[in-house]
Chain A
Amino acid sequence: MSIYNQISSNRWRTYFIIALFIFFISGFFFLIGQYLQSPTEYFILGFIISLISSIAGYFYSDRIVLLTVGAKPADKKDYFDFYTVTENLAIADGVPMPKIYVISDPSPNAFATGRDPKHAVVCATTGLLGMMNRSELEGVIAHELSHVKNYDILLSSIVAVLVGTVALVSDWIMRSMWWGGSRRDDEDRGGRNPLMLILFILALIIGPLVATLIQLAISRKRELLADASGALLTRYPDGLANALEKIAGYPQPLKNANSATAHLFIANPFKKQNKGSWLVNLFSTHPPVEERIKILRSM
């Protein structure tokens, strides 16, 4: 698959995801509205919520993601290697230099976000920067730049925002139904338990939606492809292989990662003790590190 195919496939998947998201969320609100006897109003509310979060996801996904993981901008003085390695690899790849951010966390990991190479961000944890030598860091950054160049970042960042929105909305509805439900029980609306109904709708609609979104955003191929094009850029696959070994060898998970952003990272931020929601755990977000290292070593 050439880089141009990857870019157009990522673009189309992004549009498809946005359409799917708006359709499902509006439909979900419509169903709730029907239960509450005002379907049109709820449908419009759902449509507006999903539209706004899609637009925000498209234009501001990088800022939203950086905010949720608690990343701060990195300057050349304090992060000389990080800065210059990113600068150099951007030169080699012929893309503008992305903005660079750091997360203050000892667990080594990195990700890229943004909507296109002109609005791209590469983010690394302080743990990663402290642990890697220059060639290993080059391997990691080259992997991230490959995600930038083939527009993986557009798709995965939007999915992060949309899954985050689903989590927020379902959380909010659960809460309001909990309180609203008990009030309605006082009014004695018959034997229907609204909480059970809502849980049922949640499981019916939100579950598959989140699963589909994440499945569309991640694929084993995507990470393996970025590994390969990263190695092509640095001409030194062992750099990334060594880096992945170090990342896999570190036992502690990343504090600020959640199930909405986990798929962005170069290696699973939850480590073995999976902290993500049960939904996300159904789908392994990353190909096994051992397999990736084996492929890189054989290049």
Chain B
Amino acid sequence: MSPLLIVIGLVVIIGLYFVGTYNGFIVLRTRIQEALSGIDVQLKRRADLIPNLVETVKGYAKHEKEIFENVTKARSALMSAGTPGEKAQADNQLTSALKTVFAVAENYPDLKANENFKDLQRQLEDTEDKVAYSRQFYNANVLEFNTKIQTMPSNFIANMFGFKVAEFFEAEESERKKVEVKF
């Protein structure tokens, strides 16, 4: 009688562990999706500020065509990006393009004094922070998820139900180095 009870007890414990781990994976995966859409919200916010900025800067620095093109190109790349990696790369491009805009603005005192421009600059800086922080939250969750998928014993359950490691939100190392301001 008692060996049977031990077997039943073990089966129940293993069953509970299975259910708990599986649910943990689902919770984390949902949180990752939510965090990713959180990044999207901030990226869209950032992209929405760009046309306004371009219009304002154009009023003072009409002939700086190249930087407008760069910014617009980076913006549309960001809008059409699909995977987290692509988005991260496009976002970095936009960051570097914006840096040139603000560097060029230094040469136009009237522009720098413009209230609208100052407000846009402040909002863009804040959105950049928001992108960085939502990325941090996303990556922290991905780290937890991926660790769980790859470590014993939860990796068995991950394999059984086909949970795949999630992609971190960051650009390649080479991409990151490109972010430089050219004068």
Residues of A within 8 A of B (CB): 80, 84, 87-89, 91-94, 235
Contacting pair A94 B35 (CB below 8 A): yes
Minimum CB–CB distance from B121 to chain A (whole Å) comes to: 12
Residues of B close to A94: CB separation below 8 A = 31, 35, 137, 141
Q: Which of B31, B122, B133 contacts A92 (CB 8 A)?
A: B133
- What secondary structure prevails in chain B residues at the interface with A? helix
Task: Specify which of B35, B122, B133, B141 is in contact with A89 (CB 8 Å cutoff).
Answer: B133
| In the complex, chain A residues whose CB is within 8 Å of the CB of B42 | 91
Show the binding face of B for A, using Cβ within 8 Å: 31, 35, 38, 42, 122, 126, 129-130, 133-134, 136-137, 141
23 pairs, CB–CB < 8 Å, chain A vs chain B: A80-B122, A84-B126, A84-B129, A84-B130, A87-B130, A88-B126, A88-B129, A88-B130, A88-B133, A89-B133, A91-B38, A91-B42, A91-B134, A91-B137, A92-B133, A92-B136, A92-B137, A93-B137, A94-B31, A94-B35, A94-B137, A94-B141, A235-B136
Task: Report the separation of the CA atoms of residues A235 and B136 in the bound assembly, to the nearest whole angstrom.
Answer: 10
Q: Chain A residue with minimal CB distance to B35?
A: A94
Residues of A within 8 A of B31 (CB): 94
A residues within 8 A CB of B129?
84, 88
Which residue on chain A has the smallest CB distance to residue B133?
A92
| Inter-subunit contact A92/B126 (CB<8 Å) | no
Q: Is the CB of A91 within 8 A of B130?
A: yes
Q: Which residues of A contact B137 (CB under 8 A)?
A: 91-94
Indicate if the CB atoms of B133 and A91 lie closer than 8 Å: yes
B133: chain A residues at CB < 8 Å are: 88-89, 91-92
Contacts of A88 in B (CB 8 A): 126, 129-130, 133
Q: Give the complex CA separation of A92 and B130 in angstroms.
A: 8
Contacts of A89 in B (CB 8 A): 133
A91 / chain B contacts, CB cutoff of 8 Å: 38, 42, 130, 133-134, 137
Other A-B pairs beyond A94-B137, A94-B141, 15, CB < 8 Å: A80-B122, A84-B129, A84-B130, A87-B130, A88-B126, A89-B133, A91-B42, A91-B137, A92-B134, A92-B136, A92-B137, A93-B137, A94-B31, A94-B35, A235-B136
